[in-house]
Amino acid sequence: MSSEALWGDGTRLPEIDLEDFTVDEKNFREKCEHFFQGNQSLESYDLDVSFSLELYFDILDLSKFSLRQAADNSIWNRLAVQVVPDFVVKRWPPLGGIYPKDHFWAKPQRNWLKSLWWYVHLSLQHTNGTSNRDETKITLLNGSTDSIQAVVERPGPGGFRVDFCREVMGRLGKHEIDVNMLKKIMKLNTAKVCLVEPSLYGCGVVGYVDSLIVAIS
């Protein structure tokens, strides 16, 4: 059954049917339960940051969860609507009695689970070629809900430029730019990337990001 059919009028969440879950889905729910039991006081962007890191590094096994799967909207819709809707609602409660369907299934880039996973993936910082969770966390803590929208909802022609996004978010983590500048950089990139490939720019992605910062300054 489609997410739209399960959703109905949006006045109540679809029922959770544990017997219908795969082993992986049961594990996913159990790990989410463990996280939320230990982080009940977190709200808003603080919840986004903590849960996104847990989702990316711990809840989903990166050795088994591929980029192809991460780009599959049906997987995220299934998780948000049928497996953990009661946890998604902790971040996106009903407004006027109606649950915000965009963050569950209606708009792929706003599916809360999908947007958080990609937010970490596109912000990932490395030390000596190895992903650094602590440095990534520092980077995310300098962001806001607006930075999630700016990074995840602006893939540009041909999809995400992962190295470009990580370089920009790294500048945010180092306080070289703020969230308002980040939004302007991502907007300008959307226009320029049609003509300029960041990786082929003079001095590569670093030089390309430098040029965007100069352009908006």
Rounded distance, CA 110 to CA 92, Å?
Answer: 11
pLDDT, position 217: 86
Q: φ and ψ at 161, to 5 degrees? A: -95, 95
Written as one string, the DSSP assignment of 59-74 is IS-TTT--HHHHT-HH
pLDDT, position 94: 96
Signed CA dihedral, 191, 197, 202, 206: sign only: positive
Q: At what angle do helices 204-216 and 162-173 cross, to 10 degrees?
A: 60
Rounded distance, CA 186 to CA 153, Å?
Answer: 10
pLDDT, position 183: 96
112 and 149 Cβ atoms separated by less than 8 Å: no
103 and 6 Cβ atoms separated by less than 8 Å: no
- Best CA proximity match to 198, nearest among 208, 190, 186, 189: 208
- pLDDT tens-digit map of 114-130: 999 999 999 999 988 88
Q: Please list the ranges in the chain whose pLDDT falls under 50.
A: none
pLDDT, position 199: 86
